[in-house]
Structure 1
Amino acid sequence: MARKGRRATFEEKVFALRLLEQGMSPDRVAEALDVGRESIFRWKRQARSGGTEALRIKKAPGRPRKLRPGQEQTVRALVRDVVPRQVLGAAVVLWTRALVALVIAAWFGIGMSVAAVGRLLRGLGLSVQRPLYRSPRRDEAAIAGWRSTLFPRIRRQARRRGALVLFADEMSMRVDHRSGTTWGLIGRTPVARAGAGRRSVKMFSAVGADGTLRYRLAWGSMDRWAFLGFCAQLLRTVTRPIILIVDGSSIPTARVVRDFVARTGGRLRLFFLPAYAPELNPDEWVNQNVKAGAAREAVADEHELAAAMHSRLRRLQKRPDIVRGFFADPQLAYIRP
C-alpha cells in the first residue's frame, strides 16, 4: 500500500485504476490506498492518454546508454529473479543500487555510478519496494489447491447454507509504532513528539466480500480465550450462519476453540488457510489500513491508541465500498465468483 509522500509503484497505480473501473470514487480510492486524491486523478489522465504503460516511471531523457539492450535485459532478469547471495556469495537477499553496480562491473566490465544504476533500473520497469518475505516452508501446491479447489468448494457450501463467508486475522499494534511523512526544512529532519513505550493493543477483525467488517480490540494476551470472545461477538452480531476462514496458528486450532465451534450447532464453521500465505487473506488490508491511519496519531498510551484504532475501524465500517475494494487485489481474485 502506498503511503502519502512516497512514489507509488506501477502495480499500485494499476490497482487504483481497477478500483475506479469498479465504480469506487476517486476520494475513496485515495483513502483505501492511503495516497493523495491528486495522484488518483493524475494516474487516470495518464492512463486515458497513453494506456497503463504511461503509468510507468520514465527514465530521464537525453542520457546515453552504457549497456547494450541485451545486457540491460540480463540486469532486469537478475534483479527480478535472483537474490544477491546467489551471485555474490554473501548472506544478502535484497538488491541495492551499489550491489547491482558491482555485478555490472564484474560481468560486463562497465563502471556505473549508483545514480546511473538507479536510472537504469527505473527505465527497466523496476522500483524500490518492500518485499514480501516468503517462508521456505510455504507449500505452493497447497496454495494453488486452495485457490482452485478448496475455496470454490467452501463458496458453494456457503451458498447452499445461506452463510456469510468472513476472513479473519489478528494484529498487535504498539504505542511506539510510527509511520507517515510530514513537511520540514530541507536538510533538517522534523521531530514529531508522541508517546513511547512497548504497551500494545490487540485486534481481531473479520471481513467479507460484501463489505462486512467486524472487529474486537483488547489488551493482554492474544490467545485462544480472546479469540473465543471474538467468535462469540460474531455470533451475536451476525444472524446468518458464519464460515470463518483463518490461519492455522495455535490459537484457532486449539481444542477449546474446536469444542466451542462444535457447540454452535453449525452456526459457526472454521476453515484454515494454507500456511505462510498471508496474501490469500483480505483481512491483511484491514490491518494495513488501521496501522497506516492510527500510526499518524499522537497517542500517549494504549488507551489513546485503542481510540485511534477504533476510529479508523468505524470509518471502514461506514464505508463498505472501501472494504469491498480490498477484494480487488489481484492476489484475491480467487475469492470473486
Structure 2
Amino acid sequence: MRYAQGGGLTDAERAVRERIRLQAVVRFEAGETNREVAAALRVSERSVERWRRAWRERGEAGVLSQGSPGRSRLSETQIARLDRELERGSLVHCWADQRWTLARIQTLIGRIFHVSYTVEGTWCLLKRHGWSRQQPARRVIERDDDAVEVWRKETWPWVRGPRRSAVPGSSSRTRPGSR
C-alpha cells in the first residue's frame, strides 16, 4: 500500500492484517469462495483474489507480512564497517579525489556487501545513521587567507567608495518635478 503523507502501517497494524490473511488461508483450505471469504472477513473481493493467488503460488508464506518496507538491508555490524570505510576516504577505494558522492557510496556498498541501493536509498541510510550532507568549500590551493583579510579591510573600502549619507530629499524614489 502507498500512503500519500509518507505514513504506513505500524508493526502492530501489520500483524493484524497478517492475521486476517491467515484466516483467509484457513477458509481457502475449507473450500470457501472469494465472495464468502470477503464477506466473512469484511475485506474486498479484490484483496481476497490477490491473497488466494499468492497462497496458490507460494503457500502460506505468500500471505505473510514482508515487514516494514523502510528497514535497512545492512546489519549493524555492516553499517559500522561502512562507517569505517567512509572514514578511510575515497582515495583508498580508488577514486581520483577525496569527495564522497552518493553514487560512490552506493557503489561501495555494492562492492563490499553485495547489496544494491538506489541513490535515494543510500541517502536515507546515511541520514538514518548520523551522516550529513556537506558541500566542500571550493578554494584554490594557493589562497592566502591573511592577504585576503588585509585586502578586505584596507583595499575594498577604498574601491567601493564612500557611502552617501541620507539627507532629506536625496531619495532615489522621488521623481523630478513630483514635489
- TM-score normalised by the chain length of structure 2: 0.42
Choose between structure 1 and 2 for higher RCO, CA contacts under 8 A separated by at least 6 residues. Answer: 1
Instruction: Flag the structure with higher helix content.
Output: 2
- TM-score normalised by the chain length of structure 1: 0.23
Q: Which has the larger radius of gyration?
A: 2
Instruction: Flag the structure with higher strand content.
Output: 1
